[in-house]
Amino acid sequence: MSSENKKHWYPAYVGLGSNLHDPAHQVETAFELLGEIRATHLISRSSLYGSAPFGGVQQPDFINAVASLLTQLSAQELLRELQRIEGERGRERGEVRWGPRVLDLDLLVYSNQKIDEPELCVPHPGIGERNFVLLPLGEIAPELDIPGLGRIASLDADSIEPKISRIG
């Protein structure tokens, strides 16, 4: 195989969240489905974390986690795969912003790239203010350097409200 035919593997981190229809099961199933994405490998997964809702909408608490992937897909292709999985699990686009959902999959970090497009912003905006992302991300990748934010290990997720708890 010539070098121009070889595909590069990119590290990517995905945030998972659910607060409807047995949220822990939804997140566990999503981990399995992430491992089935073409040209992509699930490398590691965080524990599950319980967190209060973000954004002020009255709703049940969330179960959150983070997955580490290696992929040959572009960031845009990977986003489409994440949205496909959300749809298959019952997520409907156009839901209330920060409202209840069966499954939410966010592309948090894609390699060392910064992408600012209408459909995709990477690193995901707000990572530094969301302990339900920082704590599980720090569990599996404490040395990760997020472009424009710094190393996960240097960010103080414990000081961010609301507090979250590791549940499994």
**pLDDT tens across the length of the chain (168 residues):** 444 557 899 999 999 999 999 999 999 999 999 999 999 999 999 999 998 886 677 889 999 999 999 999 999 999 999 999 998 997 776 655 667 889 999 999 999 999 999 999 999 888 888 888 999 999 999 999 998 888 887 776 666 666 677 886
- Give the integer Cα–Cα distance in Å for 13 and 155: 17
* Domain with 63 in it: 3-166
> Has 104 been annotated as catalytic?
yes
CATH number at residue 96: 3.30.70.560
22 near 113, Cβ under 8 Å? no
Q: What pTM does this model have?
A: 0.90
User: 45, 89, 104, 130: which one is catalytic?
Assistant: 104
User: 45, 89, 101, 130: which one is catalytic?
Assistant: 101
User: 45, 89, 106, 130: which one is catalytic?
Assistant: 106
Count how many domains the chain has. Answer: 1
50 near 63, Cβ under 8 Å? yes
Question: Which pLDDT value is given to residue 101?
Answer: 86
> Has 145 been annotated as catalytic?
no
> Has 101 been annotated as catalytic?
yes
User: 22, 91, 97, 166: which one is catalytic?
Assistant: 91
Question: Which pLDDT value is given to residue 69?
Answer: 98
For the record, the structure tokens of 38 come out as 């073409």
118 near 42, Cβ under 8 Å? no
- Give the integer Cα–Cα distance in Å for 149 and 155: 9
The three-state secondary structure class of 116 is strand
What single-letter amino acid sits at 9? W
> Has 91 been annotated as catalytic?
yes
